[in-house]
Amino acid sequence: MALGTLKIVFTAEDLARVRIAPRPDPMWEMVLSLHLLQARGGGTAMAIWRRQVRDILAETGLLTQVRGMLIPLAPAGPYFPDFLTPAEAQSGLDHGVKALVETPRRRIRHELGLLQTYYGLPPGLEDLARGNARAIRDLGRVACGYIQAAFAPHLQQMEHTLGRERSALARHLADDGVEQMLDHLPPMIRWRPPVLEADYPARAAQNSREIHLRGRGLTLIPSYFCRVTPVALVDQGLPPVLVYPARRWTPAAAGNDPLVELLGRTRAETLRCIAATPGCTTTELARRTGSSLANASKHAQVLRQAGLITSIRQVNLMLHQATALGTELVRAQPPDEPRARL
């Protein structure tokens, strides 16, 4: 695939309206995982994932429908319909699928017309292009089933990777401001004020594209299945987003980390987060360790009962701090420095 350049032009108002997606976006992950499913290479782990997904889809009876409907809708190239990635999905899978099924038929016809100019229109999409109500409902059902199949083998790793990435962004934003956060995005994205430049899929290497935010701000969406270049919506009338490859955080191996052997990976990471950031909240722990809020609270409770941390409530926040014992335990068993690779 040829690479061009995406240029996102900011105003001062836009800098004040940059936000980080609070959770994984299931519809963007669906489309980008479909791209990986169609690709080759990626090593043994990716080959295993592809086989696992195909096996699950075959067992659930969805393989034929995914091949006939979803894959033609999301080709691994410079265009796929924007209606596949509704903004409502940032509130969760149910919201995203509901928005997908309720897409106006006129919009479906228009965006499938754009798809046809790039790739032609496969026979399996003709009913959808006509706005057939049953075809639209089938699309929502197949999308939901595919998401469950595709995410299942990597769900824990997805949560960990995206939690670490969101935490890194939030830390730069809180400590240094929005421009420093933009300057610390992965290397295929470059902050050259007032423009954020990114490598971008294009039909020809000299192609470039500009998005003028004009006060609407930008939502940054780290993605687990986005592996090469960032992606943006084609329709500039929609809320602007930049979906980009989250950095792959490689934690220290458990066999080389006595604290992990003693407490378990997530609990050890929880203790280290608290020791490094006195006053760390439960929400921040969840983000930094890739855990759910409930699990982060449970891990903190166990550490508190073991005398390794203390916790105090301020209004509606629970603030955690390592005890002398917890601090000494962390200092005695420093982790290997995590390596972020793209």
- Residues 255, 193, single domain; the answer is no
CB-based contacts of 173, cutoff 8 Å, min separation 6: 20, 180, 181
- Residues 245, 255, single domain; the answer is no
**Measured distance CA(68)–CA(265) in Å, rounded:** 41
Please write down the long-range contacts of 184-187, taking CB distance under 8 Å and 24 or more positions apart.
185/220, 185/244, 186/244, 186/245, 186/247, 186/342, 187/342
Per the structure, the complete domain to which residue 60 belongs is given by 26-153
Instruction: Pick the closest to residue 25 from 145, 109, 151, 121 (CA basis).
Output: 151
- Residues 96, 204, single domain; the answer is no
Q: pLDDT tens per residue, the chain (342 residues)?
A: 567 899 999 999 999 999 999 899 999 999 999 999 988 777 777 888 899 899 999 999 999 999 999 999 999 878 899 999 999 999 999 999 999 999 999 999 999 999 999 888 888 899 999 989 999 999 999 999 999 999 987 887 888 889 889 988 988 898 889 999 999 998 889 999 999 999 887 665 457 899 999 999 999 999 999 988 899 999 999 999 999 999 875 444 444 678 888 888 888 888 988 887 767 788 778 766 766 778 889 999 999 999 999 998 876 778 898 898 888 888 765 444 333 332
Length of the chain: 342
pLDDT per position as a tens digit, 90-139? 999 999 999 999 999 999 999 999 999 988 888 889 999 998 999 999 99
Tokens found for residue 44: 């043994």
**Measured distance CA(308)–CA(305) in Å, rounded:** 8
- Residues 136, 53, single domain; the answer is yes
- Residues 85, 49, single domain; the answer is yes
Q: Are strands 208-212 and 218-223 parallel, antiparallel or unpaired?
A: unpaired
- Residues 232, 301, single domain; the answer is no
CATH of the domain at 291: 1.10.10.10
Do the Cβ atoms of 274 and 289 come closer than 8 Å?
no
Do the Cβ atoms of 41 and 110 come closer than 8 Å?
no
Q: Per the confidence metrics, is the pTM higher than 0.85? A: no
Domain tally for the chain?
Answer: 3
- Residues 176, 258, single domain; the answer is no
Among 249, 268, 288, the domain-final residue is 249
- Residues 80, 146, single domain; the answer is yes
- Residues 98, 128, single domain; the answer is yes
- Residues 83, 135, single domain; the answer is yes
- Residues 75, 122, single domain; the answer is yes
Among 153, 182, 206, the domain-final residue is 153
**Measured distance CA(60)–CA(167) in Å, rounded:** 36
Among 153, 183, 200, the domain-final residue is 153
Query: Any idea what DSSP says for residue 231?
Result: B
- Residues 306, 192, single domain; the answer is no
Other beta carbons within 10 Å of 22: 13
